[in-house]
Amino acid sequence: MQFFAQAQEQEKNYEFSGYIKNLQSFISINNPSSSNTVLLDNLFHHRLNFEWFPSEKFTFKAGMRNRLFFGASTKTLDPSGNLIYGDLIDAGANDYFDLSALWVNNINAVGHSVLDRFFLEYTNEEWEVRLGRQRINWGINAVWNPNDVFNAFSFTDFDYEERPGSDALLIRKYFNYISSIEVAIKIFDSWENATMGALWKFNKWNYDFQLMGAYVEEDIVAGLGWAGNIKSASFKGEASYFIPSESNNKTSFVLSSGFDYLFENGLYAGVGYLYNEAGSSNAAITELFSFQLSAKNLYPYRHAIFTSINTEFNPIVSGGGAIIFTPNASFPLFVSPSLSVSISDNWDLYLGAQLVWSKFDNSYSSPLGAGFIRFKYSY
C-alpha cells in the first residue's frame, strides 16, 4: 500500500493552492461642513491557483480571483444615479482579453471573478518563453517602480499580493546566473495601446544593473535600474525617461531610489525618494486614492519621501508601518501602520490602517482615513 501511494504521488503532475480572505474596512470621511461619516465595507475573497506540468520543460499556470463585495461601496452612484461600482471593478480587471465575469451587480452586493494568470511556459537551461496572461515584473524598488512599464501597481492596494498581469509574450535568454536579456510585448490592436520592450540584466562592480528600452502607449522609454550595497545597507534605484512620439506632448522623467537595512535584532528599516515629473505640486490629498496610475505617473505629487520600519515582536506577531511625506505647500502626509498575527500554520490575522493629513486653510487636518481587519486561510 505504501508503494502504491508513493507511485500515485510520483504520477501527480498538477497542483492546486490558494486562500480565502475576509476583509473588513472602516472608512472615516471628515467633512468640515457636516458631521463625520463612517462607511463600512466587507470583502470575501477566494483565490485558486492551478499548475500543470505536462512535461519537464512545459508548465501551464492559471490563477483566479473570486470576490464578493458588500457594504457602502456597492451603493456608489454616478451623476445620473446609476450604480457604477461593479463596472469599475470589472473595468480594471482585464488586459486585452476579457477573462472576467460580473455575476452579481446590485445595490447590496457585487460579485466578480477574473483569471489574472493564464499562461503556458517553456523553460530549459538557457531559455524561458511565456505566452498568456502573466506578471512581467521589471521593477526593483519595493514602493515605486518606473521600470515596471507592463504592470504598474499602487502600494495602497495591500490586499492584492499577486499584482496585476498582462496578456503578453515574454522571451528570456540566460547567459549565466547573473546576466540575461528579455523581450516582452503585450497584445494590442492599435499603437495607442501598444506596450513592448527589452531588458538587459548584468552585474558590474558587485552591483546588479538593468537597462531597458520600450515603447509604451505612444511614448519611447529609456530606463536604468540598479541594486547593490553601501557597506551593510542595501541601495536600490530605477529611473525612466518618457519621450512622447507626438511633438505636442511633454517628456517626463521618473526616479525612485532608496536604502534599506536589516539590524541584528531583526528590525528592518528603509527610506526612499521619488521624483515624479508628471506629478502635481498642489494636488489634493484625496488624489492619492483616485489618480491615474502608470509607470509614467506613480504618485499624485512631484516629490515624495518614503520611510518604513518592520519587526518581529515574537515568532507569531510582527508589525510596522510606512510614512510618505510630500514637501509642498499643503504638506500631504500618508501613514500606514500594520500588525500581523500568525494564528496557526494556515490562519493569519492582519490589522492595518491608511491615514492621510494635509494643510488646508492654515490648519492640518485629515479628510479621510481607513482601518482594516483581515482574516486569511491558506491551503
Distance CA 375, CA 33 (A): 36
Could you give the number of structural domains in the chain? 1
Question: Contact at 8 Å (CB) between 212 and 193?
Answer: no
Where helices occur in the chain by DSSP H, the ranges are 2-11, 85-91
Give me the CATH number covering residue 68: 2.40.160.10
Q: How many residues does the chain have?
A: 379
SS3 for 87?
Answer: helix
DSSP state of 29: E
| Straight-line distance from the first to the last Cα atom of the chain, in angstroms, rounded to the nearest whole number | 26
Question: Contact at 8 Å (CB) between 319 and 311?
Answer: yes
Distance CA 258, CA 275 (A): 12
Distance CA 201, CA 227 (A): 11
User: Of 369, 372, 373, 297, which is closest to residue 38 (Cα–Cα)?
Assistant: 369
Question: Contact at 8 Å (CB) between 227 and 207?
Answer: yes
Residue partners of 186: CB distance under 8 A and separation at least 6? 95, 96, 150, 166, 167, 168, 194, 195, 196
Q: Is 314 exposed, middle or buried (0-12, 13-18, 19+ CB in 10 A)?
A: exposed
C-alpha triplet 163, 228, 278: angle, nearest 5°: 50
SS3 for 11?
Answer: helix
Q: What is the pLDDT along the chain (379 residues), one digit of tens a residue?
A: 554 455 455 678 999 999 999 999 999 988 766 667 899 999 999 999 999 999 999 999 999 999 999 999 999 998 888 999 999 999 888 999 999 999 999 999 999 999 999 999 999 999 999 999 999 999 999 899 999 999 888 888 899 999 999 999 999 999 998 999 999 999 999 998 899 999 999 999 999 999 999 999 999 999 999 999 999 999 999 999 999 987 778 899 999 999 999 999 999 999 999 999 998 888 777 788 778 899 999 999 999 999 999 999 999 999 999 999 998 888 899 999 999 999 999 999 999 999 999 887 777 788 889 999 999 999 9
Distance CA 290, CA 309 (A): 26
Residue 289: predicted pLDDT: 79
Residue 361: predicted pLDDT: 72
Question: Contact at 8 Å (CB) between 163 and 155?
Answer: no
DSSP secondary structure string, 244-312? ESSTTSPPEEEEEEEEEEE-TTS-EEEEEEEEETTSBSS--GGGGGTS--BTTB-SSBSEEEEEEEEEE
Residue partners of 223: CB distance under 8 A and separation at least 6? 138, 146, 147, 149, 210, 211, 212, 213, 214, 238, 239, 240, 241
Question: Contact at 8 Å (CB) between 202 and 179?
Answer: yes
Q: Is 313 exposed, middle or buried (0-12, 13-18, 19+ CB in 10 A)?
A: exposed
User: pTM to 2 decimals?
Assistant: 0.89
What cell does 190 get? Answer: 492599435
Residue 7: predicted pLDDT: 47
What cell does 302 get? Answer: 512631484
Residue 4: predicted pLDDT: 47
Q: Which amino acid is at 1?
A: M
Beta bridge partners of 5: none
Domain residues for the domain of 155 are 2-378
